[in-house]
Chain A
């Protein structure tokens, strides 16, 4: 270490100290009159703003809080963090700033708490900007209709319940049924899709979050993902602001014209934490003891998901909120609220899950109200027929249980449906590329799978995809770039599937001959 570097350090320090201007200005202050359960009541602070940051000065340092109730001569605030040794009579200073979080490219790949502080042990986040946690959603003038797809890589979703960029699609179902799995698979499949992801874990076990982060890292998904964690042991105030903080971080990328995917896992726990805060602040309870504004709680959050038009940067925020139902009860208060706010829902069913149909997506009850306009043309062409087949199968499957005397056509439909259900099964962490999906559905709806035994469908599908990638990559490329399924592509694709089938030995020859004779 030479003298030179020492001088340099001293110079730098000098400069910084010179730059520091001591300013003292008049601040509003108040005193704590009541404290407990993460809530404080403060006297004074006559000029406090709604959701303003308040600095509570206790004997062992200061902690921040947010003003939530502005009463005649007191302010009700939630404390963000540990109440510690805060006591009656402690000083509170109004910061004159609305609650905000650090945003910027530096947050990518990090695990943060809802205040934007790093909790992954990789040092402080060096953010260039701060965004307010609560923000009014973009208005009508700035928006565009949803027209680009989000490829989840999950066959059942991409084909039948497509999601577009800027859409809000609810994932709903009982506990332990694969809701988070769908969200994580979607994040993993965003690699190279020009999409930033924000995963907001609300009230989850820290172990589960650690698992998810590890899985994302393994899949290389942390290169474009930020994880915001308000764990089960955090106070309700942090759980309450977590989704808003996550959205604020997403809005930074939105303002840069980028596409962002935000996952709120899950909003039922968020509503519960808000209920806790509201009851402690003595707001009157309503149905299921939730306060009167739980609807607004979620609607103002999900309205911030949007697709902006070209004049405003053309970015988008796609929201995938998750709701956990109790024993499949979708008519409870919070599920019905969120269903009515979102642009559709993915309904996961326990019965399907235990039958081995995983992901357990119930195609009948799941809908996507805007996503179909965002599907690529090739997918639209095959998926439309598929949805029809699936609907017919569901109808007939109920009938078929009464008797075996079915006419030929019905039997064929049932057989086709069985194979359809089979190809919708998918392992976790194994997203499928959209062009490969198109090829698989193409072979199904055109009857190429009719003579594949049901138990062999999975093997057939995997083999077909591998075969196409190995030998006919140019066709897949063509579908990918043009997004269309043109006549000549169709021809090459049919030929390729036939070629592939010629290499197999488990096909049901009887059916094959029969169909040959018919032709």
Chain B
């Protein structure tokens, strides 16, 4: 029977559950050699994707991505973190930051499969459609 990427990820998560750093590293190494012997190395990318998802779910971690034009000030960062924490109390929040000129201004927050689009670009587009009506 073919083992899916999701099942591999699930198995990996269960193996390293409760192990310390060193033992976990060894398990991952074993896991990789298993993948190699099963000829499934091509699936690695998918397995990593599912593993992240499962891991975050297991340990209640919210991965968020903040997109702004300029670097984010520490004050704003804590505000965003507070907002995300308010959504789910027991969760830990991991914020990664990116900057892009494309959004003109404002802030875009992505977490899980949700998006909070407060960029100037989207605002301007909304204004345009409402004026055209």
B81 within 8 A of A: no
Q: Name the distance in Å between A231's Cβ and chain B's nearest Cβ.
A: 27
**In chain B, residues 105-131, which have Cβ atoms closer than 8 Å to a Cβ of chain A?**
110, 112-118, 122-123, 126-127, 130-131
In the assembled complex, the Cα of A29 lies from the Cα of B131 at a distance in Å of 26
Q: Mark A339-375, 1 if CB is under 8 A from B, else 0.
A: 0000000000000000000000000000000000000
**A29 adjacent to B126 (CB under 8 Å):** no
- Would you give the 0/1 interface string for A265-305, flagging 1 where the beta carbon is closer than 8 Å to chain B? 00000000000000000000000000000000000000000
> What residues of chain A lie closer than 8 Å to B118, measured between beta carbons?
24
Inside 8 A of A44's CB, which chain B residues have their CB? 113
User: Smallest CB-CB separation from B125: which chain A residue?
Assistant: A62
Expressed in whole angstroms, the Cα–Cα distance for A315 and B75 within the complex equals 62
Which residues in window 217-272 of A have CB below 8 A to B?
Answer: none
**What CA separation (Å) do A13 and B128 show in the bound complex?**
12
Q: State A26–B116 Cα separation when bound (angstroms).
A: 5
Nearest Cβ in chain A — how far from B55, in angstroms? 15
Residue of B nearest to A44 (CB): B113
User: A180 interface residue, CB < 8 Å from B?
Assistant: no
Task: Specify which chain A residues have a CB less than 8 angstroms from the CB of B110 in the assembled complex.
Answer: 29
CB-based contact A16/B131 at 8 Å: yes
B115 A17 Cβ-Cβ under 8 A? no
Q: How far is the CA of A24 from the CA of B103 in the complex (A)?
A: 15
A439 at the interface (CB under 8 A from B): no
**Min CB gap B117→A, angstroms:** 6
A22 contacts which chain B residues (CB < 8 A)?
A: 123, 126-127
B127-A17 in contact (CB<8A): yes
Question: Contacts A16-B131, A20-B126, A20-B130: A46 and B113 contacting too (C-beta < 8 A)?
Answer: yes
Residue with the highest number of chain A CB atoms closer than 10 Å, among B6, B110, B115, B122:
B115
Contacts of B131 in A (CB 8 A): 13, 16-17, 20
Query: A-side binding surface: helix, strand, loop or mixed?
Result: mixed
Contact between chains at B114 and A28 (CB < 8 Å): yes
- A73 neighbours in B (Cβ, 8 Å): 6
Take A16-B130, A16-B131, A20-B130 as given contacts and tell me if A29 and B114 are in contact as well, using a CB distance cutoff of 8 Å: yes
Smallest beta-carbon distance A263→chain B, Å: 32
Q: Which of A20, A30, A45 is the one whose CB lies under 8 Å from B127?
A: A20
Interface status of A93 (Cβ within 8 A of chain B):
yes
Which residue of chain B has its CB nearest to the CB of A16?
B131
A27 proximal to B (CB < 8 A):
yes
Report how far A91 CA is from B122 CA in the complex, Å: 14
Number of B interface residues, CB 8 Å?
Answer: 15
Segment 171-186 of A: residues with Cβ below 8 Å from B: none
Residue of B nearest to A46 (CB): B113
Enumerate chain A residues within 8 angstroms of B130, measured Cβ to Cβ: 16, 19-20
Task: Point out the residues of chain B lying under 8 angstroms from A19, CB to CB.
Answer: 130
Interface centre among A13, A25, A27 (most CB of B within 10 A): A27
Taking a contact as CB atoms under 8 Å apart, the answer to whether B115 and A93 are in contact is yes
Structural contact, B123 and A29, CB atoms closer than 8 A: no
Other-chain contact of B115, A13, A16, A29, A46 (Cβ < 8 Å): A29
Q: How far is the CA of A338 from the CA of B6 in the complex (A)?
A: 43
Residue numbers in A under 8 Å from B126 (CB-CB)? 20, 22
The answer for the CA separation of A440 and B126 in the assembled complex, in Å, is 63
Write the A71-97 contact mask toward B (1 if CB under 8 angstroms, else 0). 001000000000000000001010000
B113→A29 contact, CB < 8 A: yes
Residue of A nearest to B131 (CB): A16
Minimal Cβ-Cβ distance residue in A for B115: A29
Could you tell me the distance in whole angstroms from the C-beta of A478 to the nearest C-beta in chain B? 53
Closest A residue to B126 by beta carbon equals A22
**How far is B115's CA from A47's CA once the two chains are assembled, in angstroms?**
13
- The interface residues of chain A lying within 8 Å CB-to-CB of B122 are 24
Contact A27 B127 (CB under 8 A): no
- CA of A16 to CA of B127, assembled, Å: 9
Residue of B at shortest CB range from A23? B126
CA distance A45 to B115 in the complex (A): 11
B113, A26: Cβ atoms closer than 8 Å: no
Bound: A239/B118 CA distance, A: 36
Q: Which of A24-53 contact B (CB under 8 A)?
A: 24-30, 44-47
Q: Mark B66-91, 1 if CB is under 8 A from A, else 0.
A: 00000000000000000000000000
Chain A residues with CB under 8 Å of B123's CB are 22
**A30 and B116 within 8 A (CB):** no
What are 25 A-B contacts with C-beta separation under 8 Å? A17-B127, A17-B131, A20-B126, A22-B123, A22-B126, A22-B127, A24-B116, A24-B117, A26-B114, A26-B115, A26-B116, A27-B114, A27-B115, A28-B113, A28-B115, A29-B110, A29-B113, A29-B114, A29-B115, A44-B113, A45-B113, A46-B113, A47-B113, A91-B115, A93-B115
Other than A13-B131, A24-B116, A29-B110, give 13 A-B pairs with Cβ distance below 8 A. A20-B126, A20-B131, A24-B117, A24-B118, A25-B116, A27-B115, A27-B116, A30-B113, A45-B113, A46-B113, A47-B113, A91-B115, A93-B115
